Structure 1
């Protein structure tokens, strides 16, 4: 199998592990910087070049597209799709996952549990918007933030109004959500491949913070999610359309709630915490899908 991995940096842990896993199984694997891929589009014709040479004949492509290049990166993924290349995460699915508002709307429409979320644009509606959510604390999130960046906790109503006013002054898109106190700063990262949870870890926020992201100093340990948690994680990935996803859940009094569905989940934290060969599982899933014809 001829495999391409779209990544800005071939030295990143996740990219290296995918290359290693593919080559260990006898496949050809090449890292392509998506920003160096450029396209020719004509009626019924789709062509891609990379650093001066045409690239074609790839059986599969694994997108590792960062949030800062979502628009161009997904255009490259779409071009691969139009050229007949299989990808576990299609361009439209990546876009759905990156837009937190759209993603939450899709999950809620499918009956998947999530923190109550409100969204509005006009400053005149802020008071009523917050009354729709309920009393503080409130979690305020940038719509396209990653790794815990752009996530704030407002413990008083006046703080919520102040943060919302500041973000609107910056023309930022954001969501406001209920705070799940009983989670005590912990969440579950469930790694979904091909419709099933293959590894999971519990992440605990450091003292004085409520964000459990490992990039923010969170501590991870392996965990076996309940059947309900596994089902919710798998359904969330399916609803968004992702074959490979990191689904973040929070344990609440009313059951597992989905915080986020990540289209480019990192491998380092989950592999080190659980000892599971996640990269190998991704390559095996792609092998099976390519054999089946996508």
Structure 2
């Protein structure tokens, strides 16, 4: 019996050791740095940012350390804040707006993988300065947005209105159209480019916004909306049903995991938020959840 008890004690000690080892390794592993500014955190949401930080840390099994900076900080200030945050991080991620600060940090921290997240995916940058640009899969995102819009239009067959932005070109519009067609919507959507005058159609089934619309009428019809935004869903109108989030937070986990491969990264899909409690039709909800998982041509 004594031998049996000793074995049980040894097994328990081994289990406790394993349980203790996990947090210890997590703490000892070098962190991933994530540079964000005050303006973005206010838009994204403080609580939402905190939850996302924990979620990404668990996915990476290493700390994601936030480097908070003031909006519009100079490249020197951005680089200094990142250098002070950790001596030898696993990787450092910077928003596209602070790419000059990322470049300065890379010069001062040789050997640290440095990623710049977001920006116009069509823009080409040199990789010689030690930066890897993590771009959004805008074409794939717009294809999925087209499929979602077609599903909302399925119930009444009304028009689809798409407020485009300067970053939406004809290739992107073609991807959106393909999504509509693949989901069974054969009518032509109405594209409204930046600065263009428009009139809201009487029969409207869905609105897509790839940009903010300054002159959007207050008495607009209550129809499902799909937006491309970093804003906290909790402060949006109930008409907004689907949000495509291509923020640094949304791309951070994939970016950090693949940054060490070096070279140019494949475009990363946005994080698509389907606000389930705002979609009353269970069949449409199910079909949207399926549509956002499908790639173009699947």
| TM-score by shorter chain over 0.5 | no
The two structures have a TM-score, normalised by structure 1, of 0.38
- Which structure has the greater CA radius of gyration? 2
The two structures have a TM-score, normalised by structure 2, of 0.38
The structure carrying a bigger helix percent of its residues is 2
